[in-house]
A and B are shown apart, each in its own frame.
Chain A
Amino acid sequence: MKQKLVIIGNGMAPGRALEKLFELAPDAYDVTIFNAEPRVNYDRIMLSPVLSGEKTFDDIVIHGDGWYIEHGITLYKGHKVVEIDREAKTVRSEPGTVASYDKLIIATGSLPFILPVPGSDLAGVLTYRDLDDVQAMMLAAKAGGRAVVIGGGLLGLEAAAGLKEQGMEVTVLHLMPTLMERQLDVAAGHLLQKAVEARGIKVITKANTKQIVGSDIRLGPARVEAVELEDGTRIPADLVVMAIGIRPSTALAKGAGLECKRGIVVDAGLRTSDPDIFALGECVEVDGQVFGLVAPLYEMAGIAASHLAGDSEPRFVPSATATKLKVTGINLFSAGDFADAKDRQEIVLRDAARGIYKRLVLKDDRIIGVVMYGETADGAWFFDLLRKGSDIAPMRDTLIFGPGFAGGGPADPTAAVAALPDEAEICGCNGVCKGKITTAIDTLGLKSLDDIRARTKASASCGSCTGLVEQLLKLKLGDRYNTAAVQPMCGCTHLGHDDVRRLIVAQELKSIPSLLQELEWKTSCGCAKCRPALNYYLLATWPGEYQDDGQSRFINERVHANIQKDGTYSVVPRMWGGMTSAKELRAIADVVEKFAIPSVKVTGGQRIDLLGVRKEDLPAVWSDLNDAGMVSGAAYAKGLRTVKTCVGTDWCRFGTQDSTGLGIRIERFMWGSWTPAKVKMGVSGCPRNCAEATCKDVGVICVESGFDIHFAGAAGLDVKQTELLGHVDTEDEVIEVIAALVQLYREQGRYLERIYKWTRRVGIESIRQHVLDDLERRRALHHRFVYSQKFAQIDPWAERAQGKDAHEFRPLADLTRVEAAE
């Protein structure tokens, strides 16, 4: 006699289990299915193409009505099971149907998370789980209007793309800094965001939803009107879709007394704590893990079917799963574990021009993680190697290029370019072909990249063909061409500082992740050498646009104080031109006593250093100094430090000009600016030079007839007298020339290169030409400096005294008063 099998739920997992069961034991069971949804089994993964209009429901049906009839299955559509009676071995549905079982499968799937915020129950707020949701969304989209999707994961992005396709204006809100952070690393997340935005979908990351705002209930039933974020931003919305995650649906199983944790607990044979009851799919938990992707669910289905057919051998062992985003035109694949770790290596391929990013994470010569963006055709091959744990050592050199190259010897890098015909275009920006470059090398005797740039224009614009041009040089000159002529910034790149700066402008790179991607960095997040440099270059290139990255700054610039050998900090308030007052000194004295600051010292730059301040005290110390009108002296900054002055005509019998006043004016105009390395200035009121202006980065010597401007001095590791830049007649001209000089240095200087070294590299004449002789250039430089100062002259101490970056100054936790549990 046939046994009775009852299945609660009619999703993809039980559907697959039945297919398998009918294969293994066609006549073993009479099957009854209760489906809470009023329909047959369909492919839930394909809901997104239905939403975007690329498919219809009929296209995604897995088992049509005929299949159920053919297998003699009783299917109750729209019957939600409300009770399992394990004693009587029956289940009862909401409409009252009772069915008895010998074996039961629970496949209740999952429920979407709803944000616990006010307004989440308003009309117009939907989730994205089943066909009903999709139909509701399509109906809402017919009216047009604005949709907000909460959640930038797989489902959220698919929903957003679908709604956009249906003609809505769509904004995606994502709590984390990058999209799909569980499946993608930062670089790929950034590429994805660019692609999503390119379809006209607005993306707001780090968006913490505070509430969903409804319409005035006096005007009828309340409907969603806007989403309000924690920071007060309001995004108007006619439709809100929550796609922030799912949780196993366990209520029914729990009610029947089955063991449940996050999901219904099952063993490796998919049996619950009741041996006659199986559970599978998104509702279960195996070894503490729950599942949401189809591959493991299908695997469970096969195993449960074997057990039902009498073979209790197969065991479910969770393995790596792969993710693909189903948005037409966006190719993305990720699988396995792609976190960095000490015992792992990575192979990264970035092809910025084609928008391709591939990263393999290796451990012990085996692939354990894959992230691919842009070109995912080889995903399946890599995933197969990953699942099999294949040893990839023999093909490691060409592995990243996919199966087409697998096992082949490492290619000679110049072979590809040697094989190109003479007409092949090398430099797309300037239309330079290979033949023109090789002829130029032969006939003009060119030996370097710069020669080629000057004579042929190749590689002189965006620079993305630099590698090819270098290979041509190598091909033609052999060992006579030294590719290492350009010192790379660090081990993360082959590009030098100047190349990076040029490419930031040419390719409009405006964030560190985009730069690492587009310039094909060899590491996933740079290093302690390149990141501070890149942060400066981006900040200097895009004033007002680039968002400073604190984590890429050295600690002193991150917390606006100088770290000392014992981990305490020193604090130096600005004293404009070295002038101070009773009020400032009193405030300093008070702060020293209040915070028990151990040392107070007068610095060489004419101000006062408070040494040994505890980090936690910094904001309060600054707040007190702010109250007395003092701001940060930037004694820690690669930026303007001090303007040292003498007392000039105010007091000195030899003074020729108001050197103190000029120094203060310069300092007030220049403070806050970031530069490649520190900048110290001085203004002396006469050639006796009491302010020692002639060993500063920039120095002014006042004379009867006006002002001599000096620059490129040094008095540290190197000692060097300044060079004379030139003479000007008025204070206004002094200001304009110094601003132009500093701006030119900001634009040309390499990170950590002091002004005297920059001058040695580019030449005094070229600088004088730019900032003194050529009035038009001088004014343009001055103008750019003034513009960038608009965003720079904000006292960092005041910001932090008011709470900015509070996490920097407080411990994460204080366990000093917690007793250890024995």
Chain B
Amino acid sequence: MTVMEKAWIDIGALDDIPRLGARVVKTPLGCIAVFRADNDEVYALDDRCPHKNGPLSQGIVHGRTVTCPLHNWVISLERGTAEGADEGQVRTYSVRVDGGRILIDADVLLARTN
């Protein structure tokens, strides 16, 4: 079986992000918000609300969603989609936790052409 190994980048410790909180990772192509849910699952999304580019990393995290601080759009952490009546989507990134460290898919460094 040949599987292309994904390359992962260590971006910090799980404990660096408060539960129900978020931190920002700067990349050459803009900021990514990394969220920690109450069960310690971690999600990574573009730090830009599809509505008016609000920084999602600054929102209140609840369940698997975040509420944007600018106009209260609720964004799914898993899919990046706007919940409820609003429509829009932000890009999500693969991220995982291994031994207390947070690893993000190295593709974040590649040009985000799509």
Contact = CB atoms under 8 A, between A and B. Distances in A.
Interface of A: 177, 181, 185-186, 338-342, 523-528, 531-532, 550-556, 559, 563, 565-567, 807, 811-816, 818-821
A553 B58 CA distance: 10
Given A342-B76, A528-B74, A812 B17 contact: yes
Nearest to B108: A815
Contacts of B38: 185-186, 340, 524-525
A524 B63 contact: yes
B9 A815 contact: yes
B-side interface size class: 35 or more
B20 to A, nearest CB: 4
Contact of A341 (B12, B34, B78): B78
A807 B24 CA distance: 10
Contacts of B55: 563, 567
Nearest to B9: A815
Given A528-B62, A566-B53, 8 more contacts: A186-B19, A338-B39, A567-B58, A812-B11, A813-B11, A815-B11, A815-B25, A821-B7
B45 interface: no
Contacts of B110: 820
A565 B52 contact: yes
B58 A563 contact: yes
B64 A812 contact: no
A340 B64 contact: yes
Interface string B55-73: 1001111111001011010
A563 B28 contact: no
A177 B36 CA distance: 14
B60 A531 contact: yes
Contact of A554 (B16, B20, B24, B69): B69
B21 interface: yes
A106 B106 CA distance: 39
Contacts of B28: 815-816
B63 A812 contact: no
B52 A812 contact: no
Nearest to B24: A811
Interface of B: 7, 9, 11-12, 16-21, 23-28, 31, 34, 37-41, 52-55, 58-64, 67, 69-70, 72, 74, 76, 78-79, 102, 106, 108-110
A819 B25 CA distance: 15
A720 B110 CA distance: 56
- The CB with the most chain B CB atoms within 10 A, among A523, A528, A807, is that of A528
A482 B11 CA distance: 53
B23 A807 contact: yes
A820 B106 contact: yes
Contacts of A551: 18-21, 60-61
Nearest to A208: B15
A341 B79 CA distance: 10
Nearest to B34: A812
A338 B61 CA distance: 18
B60 A812 contact: no
Contacts of B102: 812
A427 B69 CA distance: 43
A818 B34 CA distance: 18
A815 B62 contact: no
Contacts of B23: 807, 811-812
Nearest to A346: B63
B100 to A, nearest CB: 10
Contacts of A554: 60, 69
A523 B28 CA distance: 38
Contacts of B41: 339, 341
Contacts of A526: 62
Contacts of B9: 813, 815, 818
For A186, A531, A812, A815, which residue has the most chain B Cβ atoms within 10 angstroms?
A812
B43 to A, nearest CB: 10
A570 to B, nearest CB: 14
Nearest to A525: B38
Given A341-B64, A524-B63, A528-B62, A811 B37 contact: no
A151 to B, nearest CB: 15
Contact of B62 (A527, A559, A818): A527
Q: What 10 pairs across the A-B complex have the smallest Cβ distances? A: A812-B23, A820-B109, A528-B67, A813-B11, A528-B60, A551-B20, A555-B58, A567-B55, A339-B39, A555-B69
A340 to B, nearest CB: 5
A550 to B, nearest CB: 7
Given A181-B40, A528-B59, A565 B70 contact: yes
Contacts of B108: 815
Contact of B25 (A185, A339, A550, A813): A813
Contacts of A555: 58-60, 69
17 contacts: A185-B38, A340-B64, A342-B76, A342-B79, A527-B62, A528-B62, A531-B62, A552-B60, A554-B60, A555-B69, A563-B69, A567-B54, A807-B18, A812-B24, A813-B9, A820-B109, A821-B7
Given A342-B78, A818-B9, A813 B69 contact: no
Contacts of B53: 566-567
Contacts of A340: 37-39, 63-64
A554 B69 CA distance: 7
Nearest to B49: A567
B57 to A, nearest CB: 9
A26 to B, nearest CB: 40
Contact of A815 (B27, B59, B74): B27
B3 to A, nearest CB: 13
A614 to B, nearest CB: 12
A550 B18 contact: yes
Nearest to B81: A342
Contact of A528 (B19, B39, B40, B72): B72
A815 B105 CA distance: 12
Nearest to A815: B27
Nearest to B58: A555
Nearest to B11: A813
Contact of A807 (B17, B37, B39, B64): B17
Interface centre among A185, A523, A820 (most CB of B within 10 A): A820
A128 B64 CA distance: 37
Contacts of B109: 815, 818-821
A580 B45 CA distance: 44
Contacts of A563: 55, 58, 69-70
